[in-house]
Structure 1
Amino acid sequence: MTTEPAAPRPRWRRVLGSFWGQLLLAFLVVGLILTFLAKPYVVPSGSMLETLEPGDRILVNRIAFLGSEPVTGDIIVFDADDAWDVPASAPTDPIRTALRWVGEVTGFGPSGPHTLVKRVIGSSGEVVACCDATGAVLVDGRPIDEPYVSNDFAFEEGTLDCTTTPRSSRCFDEVTVPDESYLVLGDNRSGSRDSAYACRSADASDDCWRWASHAGIVGEVAAVLWPIPRWGALG
C-alpha cells in the first residue's frame, strides 16, 4: 500500500510560519495599534510639572475622543501649528534621522518636533478669563478648581490682582474659544509657553492667542509608562 505524499503547504502559510514572516506580522500589529489605538510619547518639557516631568514616557489613548471632544481638565497631546513657534530640531545626519524616526514611532526616543502636552481649559465656544477675586480661572463665568497647578503666578487680592497697576501676570482678558479649537495651559503655570503665554499683559493684542486644533489632537494622556517609580494612570 502506497502513501500519498503530503500536499505542500500554501506559500502564504510557509511565509507566515517563518521567523521573518512572524516578525513582519508582529510589526504590522504593533503599527496598527500605534496608529489607531494607543501610542507612547516622551514629555518634551517641564510645562506640566508636577503632573508630568520632562522625559516621562506617557501612553496616549488615540480613541479617547472618538465621537466626543476634550473637556476642561483633560490632558492632551497635540501637534502644534506655526503660531506656537516651536523650534524645529531636525537632525542632519542619517543616523540621527533614523533614531528620530524610531523615537517617534515607538515613543522611547524624542517625539515629533512640534508635539506638545498641555491641559485643556476651554473648549469650542466657551468663554475663558482670569481671574476672579480669588485668582481662579473662569470658564463661562464659573471658577474652576485646579489642584494640579504648580508654580502659579503671584496673585494677592487688592495688592496684586487683575485690577491693580501693575496687574498680576496670572491675569488674561476674556476670550471665546474658536470653533474646532481648545485653550490649553500647562500645570506649571508660570513656566509654560501655552495658549495664554503672550496674552498675560494689559496691553496684549487680540491675536496673542494660540490654540490646540481639533484636527491636531493625537489623543488623551492615559498613563505614565516610564520611569517605573512614576508608573500610573492619569485622568
Structure 2
Amino acid sequence: MSNTGKSIVKEISEWVILIIIAFVIASIVQSELFALTEVNMQSMMDTLEPGDKLIMNKLAYTFNEPQRGDIIIFLRDEPVNGVLGRASIYISDICKKLKKDFRRNRLIKRVIGIPGDTIEIVDNVLYVNGVEQHEPYARIDPYEKIVLNRSMPKVTVKEGELFVMGDNRGHSADSRDFGVIKQSWVEGKAIFRIAPISKFGKIK
C-alpha cells in the first residue's frame, strides 16, 4: 500500500475512533440525566402497564429526597452512587444488551414510607403513622381482598431507607415481602410516559 493509501486509512481510523469516543461520552452524559425504561411486570397496574415506555429522571434525588407517592426505579442490592456508579451500570447494561441478556433486576414501585414513618397493614388497609391511607391509585381486587386478607405488623422506616409497594397490590412483590429498600439503590424517578401514544403524558 502506498504512503497516500496508508495516510487515508490512518485518518479514517482516527475519525472512527473519535466518533466512537464522542458517542460513548454523549451516551454517558445522557444516561446521567435521563433514561428510557420499559415496564415489564403487572405490579404497577393500572397506573403503569406492561409495555409502557417511561422517561426516568436520574437527577430527581440529587438535591431532594424521595417523597411519598413518587414512582421510583431502583436496582435491588446495587447502590447507584455518583457519576462513576451510573457509568458502570450504563456500560454493564450495554454489555448485557449486546449479549442479549438485558434483564437487570430493575423494579418500579411507589414510595409509601420515608424515613421516620411507621407503616402498618391491617386487613389490606394501609396505615402510615397511624393514619388510614385512601389510595385512589391502588388496585385491590375484591376477591383477592377476601382471599389474601393481608396484614403486616408495624415497620418503622429508618434513615436512608424507603418502604415501597406496587399499585397492583395482589400481584406485587414489594416491601411487604422483601422489606424496606435502601435509598442508595434508587436509580431515578419515573416522570413521563412516551408510549403507548394513547397514554402519552406525565406520570402521577
TM-score range, shorter chain: 0.7 to 0.9
Distance 1:126 1:102 in 2: 42
Contact in 1 for aligned 2:144/2:170 (Cα 8 Å): no
Structure 2: gaps spanning 5 or more residues? 1-10, 79-92
Looking at CA atoms only, which structure, 1 or 2, has the larger radius of gyration? 1
CA contact (8 A) 1:70 1:123 kept: yes
Determine the C-alpha separation between the residues in 2 that align with 1:110 and 1:25. Answer: 24
Shift of 1:217: 0.4
| C-alpha contact 1:153 1:190 (8 A) present in aligned 2 | no
Please name the residue that 1:221 is paired with: 190
Query: How far apart, CA to CA, are the structure 1 residues paired with 2:121 and 2:62?
Result: 30
Instruction: Map Cα deviations across residues 90-144 of structure 1 (whole Å, 9 max, x no partner).
Output: xxxxxxx97842599xxxx9451x1100001001221011238xx6411111222
What do residues 150-185 of structure 1 show as CA deviations (whole Å, max 9, x unaligned)? 1346699xxx7xxxxxx9623211111132111111
Partner residue in 1 for 2:155: 175
Cα deviation, 1:3-44, whole Å, max 9, x if unaligned, reads xxxxxxxxxxx99xx57645642442232111x211111212
Q: Which has the higher helix share?
A: 2
Q: RMSD value over aligned CA atoms?
A: 3.2
Partner of 1:192: 172
Which whole-Å CA distance do the structure 1 matches of 2:120 and 2:143 have between them? 17
In 2, Cα distance between equivalents of 1:81 and 1:225? 28
Which of structures 1 and 2 has the larger relative contact order (alpha carbons within 8 angstroms, sep 6+)? Answer: 2
Does the C-alpha gap of structure 1 residues 126 and 189 become closer, same or farther in structure 2, counting only changes over 3 Å? Answer: same
Identity %: 28
CA distance in structure 2 between the aligned counterparts of 1:181 and 1:69, rounded to whole angstroms: 11
Q: Number of residue pairs matched?
A: 179
2:27 aligned counterpart, secondary structure: helix
Segment of structure 1 superposing worse, 144-153 or 50-59: 144-153
- Relative to structure 1, the CA distance from residue 189 to residue 153 in structure 2 (aligned partners, 3 Å threshold; closer, same or farther) is farther
Q: Which runs of 5+ in 1 are unaligned?
A: 1-13, 83-96, 161-166, 198-208
| TM-score, normalised by the number of residues in structure 1 | 0.65
- State the alpha-carbon separation in 2 of the partners of residues 230 and 99 from structure 1: 31
Change (3 A) 1:230 1:40: same
Please give the alpha-carbon distance, in whole angstroms, between the structure 2 residues aligned to 1:233 and 1:27.
29
Q: What is the distance in 1 between the residues matched to 2:200 and 2:99? A: 20
The alpha-carbon deviation at position 226 of structure 1 amounts to 2.2
